[in-house]
Amino acid sequence: MAALETKHGKPVASWTYHNAGGHPVGIVLRWDRPDGGKDFRPVSRHGTIWRIAGMPAPRPLYRLPELADARRVYVTEGEKAADAVRSVGLVATTSPHGSNSAGKADWSPLAGRRIVILPDADDAGRRYADDVARLLAKVTPAPTVKVVELPDLPAGGDAVEYVAARRAEGLDDDAIRAAVEGLANAAAPIDPTEATATAVPVLVCVADVQPEPVRWLWPDRVALGKLTLIAGDPGLGKSLITLDMAARVSGGTAWPDAQDTPNVAGGVVLLSAEDDVADTIRPRLDAGGADVSRIVVLQAVKHRDPDTGAELPAPFCLATDLPALGLAIERVADCRLVVIDPITAYLGRIDSHKNAELRAVLGPVAELAGRHRIAVVAVTHLRKAEGPAMYRAMGSLAFTAAARAVWAVTKDRDNPGRRLVLPVKNNLAADVLGLAYTIEPTGAHGAPVVLWGAEPVNVSADDALATEHGDADGHTDREQAADWLRDALADGPVRSTALFAEAKENGIAQKTARRAFRDMGGKPHKASFDGGWYWRLPGDDREVGPEDSQDAQR
């Protein structure tokens, strides 16, 4: 061993591994580095010579001979922790060479035993516990496995700190042993199928859930903890409606149709991709009577450069930056409302016409709303199409499906200066009528404000939108399909089969889509790399390859 000490310095600790017969087969040595870190090196026996080299697999467990007659065995991450557990009279072991080598150890000697895993208080320790549990589930006969996190450990702490702290409190080894055994007895065994499964269900028994009523931001119209969608054509004042909402929330002002109901003041987070804060948002909030000290605008997020450590600002993206929005909500006192205007501007590379892609983004947004008990109101545009208003939101039907309430903004056919806010979908309240408003430049410096009508509006969104977009006057299915195709093909060619599937989800028949495409001057073309047919907009000369076709990317 002298040569080893000369080459690597003098080791400060060593742990010997034995085979089942009690003969030493390897040693793990520890050196303390000058920088305060630690190095561990396995030393294996080659005949009569000891060399620094990995132990041959499968590697024996630490203190293997002591495990033969033990009914309960404690597993730690590391020999020092195992020794701490052994020092109070319990049988303990570990696998050689750290948390990344559990799979190289022979766990079969623990077959049929009662195993208690004591993870270190960090992510690596929990991963090690998961790895060991998964490996033990494959042993025959399978042992009973429990995972016990020792209480009051510091970050990164283990059984060494636990035993030392209990001794510092004046407990003797018998009392410490009894405390550890008590924790083990109280813990529930791990389901062996759960330990080996790649996907584990998270189940909630309904009997354990306390029923509670829906909580409202705007009674019967916008719920807390839910996603609400406002859809309408450009120029109708959708953004102004959301700023009116922000003003009412921040100032605790009553809602226009609930003047006798107190409105709790709260904070607001705004994401606005189209309006300037200084010359548009602030004047409109002031005109609406907002308490602007309660309102913040999320303009960008900062990402740290992994090479330089510099913080680089980037546009906010719902697909990647939702944790940043969560932090913004937590930093705004009593936050009750988040506005995303328009939501399509914050999707990044997500295609708003693809249901699966969009659901993967909107699902976490809805979950965030529920977790923080805030209302998320998203704004989107309407597209011209035939059929129910539910299919009119720009992009995929997933927008409408994800929202618990959808409101359509449209013109009043009998009064061009008046706008209507009509229910398209409201899953959480009984049938509620629409509202009407006008936009008046009555704020400071002529800033526009929303003036709500006193009476509810008894007209359906389907009827109002059919009139506004001319469906009732002969606006053809083919023209509506052409509008949809222009959006769907705006980013480049799409395989025709994928396009037909998306068209069907949006209420457009394949025959109608073909005729609309022909009317637009479009011609299908066959890609050389796979022989499939692709559609692209007239004048779009981009060639289709396996990497750049839209449906290839999906």
- Report the domain count for the chain: 4
Q: Residue range 202-208: average pLDDT? A: 85
| Residue 26 bridge partners (DSSP) | 17, 44
Q: How confident is the model at residue 98 (pLDDT cuts 50, 70, 90)?
A: low
Q: Which residues contact 287 (CB under 8 A, 6 or more apart)?
A: 442, 443, 444, 447, 448, 449
Query: What six digits make up the tokens of 509?
Result: 């028949």
Q: Tell me whether residue 499 is exposed, middle or buried, using C-beta atoms within 10 angstroms of its C-beta: 0 to 12, 13 to 18, 19 or more.
A: buried
pLDDT top residue among 495 and 281: 281
Q: Are residues 41 and 76 in the same domain?
A: no
Last residue of a domain, one of 164, 196, 228: 196
Q: Are residues 239 and 319 in the same domain?
A: yes
Backbone φ, ψ for residue 502 (5° rounding): -65, -40
Rounded-to-integer distance, Cα 257 and Cα 451, Å: 12
Query: What six digits make up the tokens of 203?
Result: 């189940």
Q: Is residue 361 within a helix (H) or strand (E), and if so which, with residue range?
A: helix 355-372
Query: What six digits make up the tokens of 184?
Result: 């083990």
Is residue 93 within 8 A of residue 82, CB to CB? The reply is yes
DSSP label of 279: I
Rounded-to-integer distance, Cα 95 and Cα 84, Å: 15
Q: Evaluate whether residue 210 is within a structural domain.
A: no
CA–chain centroid gap for 524, Å, is 39
pLDDT of residue 354 exceeding 90: no
pTM higher than 0.75, yes or no? no
Q: Are residues 25 and 47 in the same domain?
A: yes
Q: Residue range 499-510: average pLDDT? A: 82
Rounded-to-integer distance, Cα 311 and Cα 305, Å: 6
Rounded-to-integer distance, Cα 532 and Cα 515, Å: 20
Rounded-to-integer distance, Cα 478 and Cα 172, Å: 85
Q: Are residues 92 and 180 in the same domain?
A: yes
Amino acid at 529: F
Sign, CA torsion 125/126/130/136? positive
- What is residue 3's predicted lDDT score, i.e. its pLDDT? 41
Q: Evaluate whether residue 297 is within a structural domain.
A: yes
Mean pLDDT of the chain: 84
Backbone φ, ψ for residue 2 (5° rounding): -60, -40
Domain extent for 184: 69-196
Helices and strands (DSSP H and E) totals, the chain: 16, 24
Q: What is the CATH number of the domain that holds 536?
A: 1.10.10
Q: How far apart are the first and last CA of the chain?
A: 59
Residue whose C-alpha is closest to residue 79's, from 130, 27, 121, 31? 27
Q: Evaluate whether residue 292 is within a structural domain.
A: yes
- What is residue 230's predicted lDDT score, i.e. its pLDDT? 94
Residue whose C-alpha is closest to residue 545's, from 535, 530, 533, 524? 530
Rounded-to-integer distance, Cα 269 and Cα 22, Å: 66
Q: Is residue 72 within a helix (H) or strand (E), and if so which, with residue range?
A: strand 72-75
Q: Are residues 455 and 310 in the same domain?
A: yes
Last residue of a domain, one of 426, 445, 469: 469
Q: Are residues 495 and 456 in the same domain?
A: no
Q: Are residues 263 and 235 in the same domain?
A: yes
Lookup result for tokens 């007895």: 185
Q: Are residues 160 and 26 in the same domain?
A: no
Last residue of a domain, one of 469, 490, 524: 469
Q: Are residues 373 and 446 in the same domain?
A: yes
Highest mean pLDDT among 27-36, 395-404, 518-527 belongs to 518-527
Query: What six digits make up the tokens of 336?
Result: 């009750």
Q: Are residues 29 and 97 in the same domain?
A: no
Q: Evaluate whether residue 59 is within a structural domain.
A: no
Range with lowest mean pLDDT among 32-36, 217-221, 379-383, 496-500: 32-36
Could you report the per-residue pLDDT of 53-94, keeping only the tens digit for each?
556 678 899 999 999 989 999 999 999 999 999 999 999 999
Q: Which residues contact 183 (CB under 8 A, 6 or more apart)?
A: 148, 150, 151
Q: Evaluate whether residue 333 is within a structural domain.
A: yes
Q: Is residue 449 within a helix (H) or strand (E), and if so which, with residue range?
A: strand 449-452
Q: Residue range 351-360: average pLDDT? A: 75
Q: Are residues 110 and 172 in the same domain?
A: yes
Q: What is the CATH number of the domain that holds 374?
A: 3.40.50.300
Q: Are residues 135 and 221 in the same domain?
A: no
At residue 81, the 3 state secondary structure works out as: helix
Q: Residue range 320-324: average pLDDT? A: 90
Q: What is the CATH number of the domain that holds 104?
A: 3.40.1360.10
DSSP label of 215: P
- Helix, strand, coil percent values for the chain (each to nearest 5): 35, 25, 40
Q: Evaluate whether residue 64 is within a structural domain.
A: no
Q: How confident is the model at residue 394 (pLDDT cuts 50, 70, 90)?
A: low
The stretches of 435-495 forming alpha helices (DSSP H) are: 461-468, 477-488
Could you report the per-residue pLDDT of 507-518, keeping only the tens digit for each?
788 888 888 888
Q: How confident is the model at residue 547 (pLDDT cuts 50, 70, 90)?
A: very low
Rounded-to-integer distance, Cα 219 and Cα 403, Å: 16
Highest mean pLDDT among 13-22, 216-225, 374-383, 407-416 belongs to 216-225
Q: How confident is the model at residue 39 (pLDDT cuts 50, 70, 90)?
A: low
